[in-house]
Amino acid sequence: MLKEIIGDNMVVVCNNCQAENSYNVSEKTVSFSPEFNEFENLNFECPGCHTIEIFNMNIPANDTDENFMSGDLPIGEEIQRYYVRLLMRIARPDLT
Ligand SMILES: [Zn+2]
């Protein structure tokens, strides 16, 4: 789970061992795959238990493009999407 992004620093809470791990995301970038017509996912490995956390870089870039209303998703999921959008703006060349 993505906990926060402040500047170049991102904190992920491991789904497996609950450890909080920090990653520098200033150099993170994803490339577009013409074959799948979407951007790569971003993966982060927990240094403690080696569980891989995967973030989908292909959700709508603007929350106004989402086809659900507030309340349709659990609040935790809405917060996750907010952070994933921040990450997309860092990592996707077309959004930076
Ligand atoms: Zn872990």
Ligand 1 centre and the CA of 54: distance in Å? Answer: 13
> By the 8 A CB rule, do 87 and 42 touch?
yes
Domain residue ranges in the chain:
2-91
How far apart are the C-alpha atoms of 39 and 6, rounded to whole Å?
Answer: 23
Q: How many angstroms is it from 48 CA to the middle of ligand 1?
A: 5
Does residue 33 have a pLDDT over 80? Answer: yes
51 DSSP assignment: P
Q: Global pTM?
A: 0.89
pLDDT tens string 46-71: 999 999 999 999 999 988 888 777 77
Q: How far is the CA of 51 from the centre of ligand 1 (A)?
A: 5
pLDDT digits (tens, 9 = 90+) for 81-91: 999 999 999 99
Express as a percent the part of the chain with pLDDT over 90.
Answer: 80
Q: Does position 31 have pLDDT exceeding 90, yes or no? A: yes
